[in-house]
Amino acid sequence: MQHCRLLLLVVALVLSTACKSEPIGDESDGAAGASGNDASVILGTGEAVFEPMEGEPTLEMAAGFQGGFHVWASFRAYGFSEERLGMVLVTELQGEPESAPLTMRATLKGKEATDDEGNPVWTFAGYPAQIRDARCATGRRARVRVTLSDTFGHEASDERFCEVFLDETYRDKDCD
């Protein structure tokens, strides 16, 4: 059994290095290219379904059950053959040198679907993209960046900007 695991690990490592190449893809819609196949990702919003983020929308932050606040992030992933993808999501308030980026990592299970043009796509809806210092962030511009990857070494990224809003009842009264 141990030999089988070792063999599978070696095969996975060989395949992942064999699939690496220079990034490709069209970056005109904000979606950066991917390594290897024509994988790409589109970052959107939406708690239950993917909603596109066009321009720089104002997104209302939701209260998390552990006391933090987040905006909803959703994704459309093209060109990946696996339903489980590694995700790295980074949020950062703009214009605040003391506010460090907040990085979240997860393995997400997508739902197979087709987009409006009939293309196959994996959808991931309702990931809580936490916002650092959220109680003082209302009206601030935030950068949200997602990178998705699979076990074959394919990777794609997208980045969007939005303005965040928090209901007055949750805001800190002592913000600068």
* Boundaries of every domain in the chain: 2-170
Q: What pLDDT, on a 0 to 100 scale, did the predictor assign at position 166?
A: 95
**How many helical (H) and strand (E) elements, i.e. helices and strands, does the chain have?**
1, 12
pLDDT tens track for 7-55:
333 333 333 333 333 333 333 343 444 344 689 999 999 999 999 999 9
Question: In the prediction, which pLDDT does 22 show?
Answer: 33
How many angstroms separate the Cα of 150 from the Cα of each of 33, 49, 117?
14, 22, 24
pLDDT digits (tens, 9 = 90+) for 42-62: 999 999 999 999 999 999 999
Whole-angstrom CA distances from 164 to 54, 90, 136 are 15, 15, 10
Q: What is the CATH number of domain 2-170?
A: 2.60.40
What pLDDT score was predicted for residue 176?
66
Residue 18's pLDDT is what?
A: 36
168/175: higher pLDDT: 168
Tell me what pLDDT residue 37 has. Answer: 61
Query: What pLDDT is attached to residue 125?
Result: 95
Tens digit of each residue's pLDDT (9 = 90 or more) over 91-128 = 999 987 677 899 999 999 999 999 999 999 999 999 99
Indicate yes or no: pTM above 0.85. Answer: no
Residue 37 Cα distances to 15, 42, 70, angstroms: 13, 16, 32
Q: What is the mean pLDDT of residues 135-157?
A: 95
Whole-angstrom Cα distance, residue 45 to residue 59? 8
